[in-house]
Amino acid sequence: MLASAATTAILVIGLSVPRPGASPVVDRIKGAGPSLVVTRWTPGGYEWLADGSVAATGDVLRLGYRAGGRPFGAILSVDGSGRVTQHFPAARDRAVDLVQAGTTWLDTTCELDGTSRWTRFYLITGDHPFDLGPLRESARTRPWHGSADVPPVVDIAGGLGQSVFSIIRRDAR
């Protein structure tokens, strides 16, 4: 009977491991406000990361968010080389409606290259749709480019909020 229970437990665990492209399905962190969540793909499945986690070139990250009651938002990142990437929405110049229930995972992943010592992700949220151009420009023109230090928050207009998540690179140039 004990052997049967152990076999069943191993089977259930084996079936619940997500594969690349699959979404992590567990909501582990609950909070009142908007937040970013980041996982890293490993051979055993997705590993949840904490703000300030160390990562390496080639690591594949999956981004998600919790809207925390804010109806509109976007996700951008900037790295130490000054490159700004708009992750969500992928091809629009205005913030989009956020899903309010649980964690929403982006449909794409991002692979870290070896060009900088850090990457910082920003979830910018608001009560009304807002333009993303000024946010991209603020991220692009901040004085931290080339710095070993993780950047501060992006300048945002009144009424907007932001949640930040930093990845520190252990092998970057």
Q: What is the DSSP string of 61-103?
A: EEEEEE-TT--EEEEEEEETT--EEEEESTT-SB-EEPP-SS-
In a domain, 9, yes or no: no
pLDDT of residue 24: 39
* Number of structural domains in the chain: 1
pLDDT of residue 139: 83
In a domain, 67, yes or no: yes
Tens digit of each residue's pLDDT (9 = 90 or more) over 49-86? 999 999 999 999 999 999 999 999 999 998 878 889 99
In a domain, 97, yes or no: yes
In a domain, 8, yes or no: no
CATH of residue 83's domain is 2.60.40
Range of the domain at 106: 32-169
10-residue mean pLDDT series, the chain (173 residues): 38 34 40 90 95 94 97 93 91 95 95 86 95 88 63 75 90 60
Closest CA to 136 of 52, 80, 75: 75
